[in-house]
């Protein structure tokens, strides 16, 4: 489960960076690029959920 921890940390780091870029673009007034950051953030959220489910099932199989 140690590898899963590092993958989750890296995915959360990417999400934090995307939110930071979104805020910078919003404050700069570049509203036309915001949907791309929202799509990227949504994609990273879906990937994080899928990774969580994957490692949860692997952990359950290893316990059997």
Confidence of residue 1 (pLDDT cuts 50, 70, 90): low
pTM score, whole prediction: 0.74
- Total domains, the chain: 1
* Structural domain boundaries enclosing 39: 2-63
Q: What is the pLDDT of residues 6-37, one digit of tens each?
A: 888 888 898 899 999 999 999 999 999 899 99
Q: What is the DSSP string of the chain?
A: -HHHHHHHHHHHHHHHHHHHHHHHHHHHT-GGGHHHHHHHHHHHHHHHHHHHHHHHHHHHHHH-
Q: What is the pLDDT of residues 36-45, one digit of tens each?
A: 999 999 998 8
């Amino acid at each position: 489960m140690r590898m899963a921890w590092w993958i989750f940390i890296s995915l959360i780091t990417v999400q934090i960076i995307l939110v930071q870029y979104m805020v910078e673009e919003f404050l700069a007034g570049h509203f036309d690029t915001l949907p791309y950051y929202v799509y990227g953030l949504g994609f990273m959220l879906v990937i994080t959920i899928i990774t969580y489910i994957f490692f949860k099932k692997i952990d359950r199989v290893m316990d059997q």
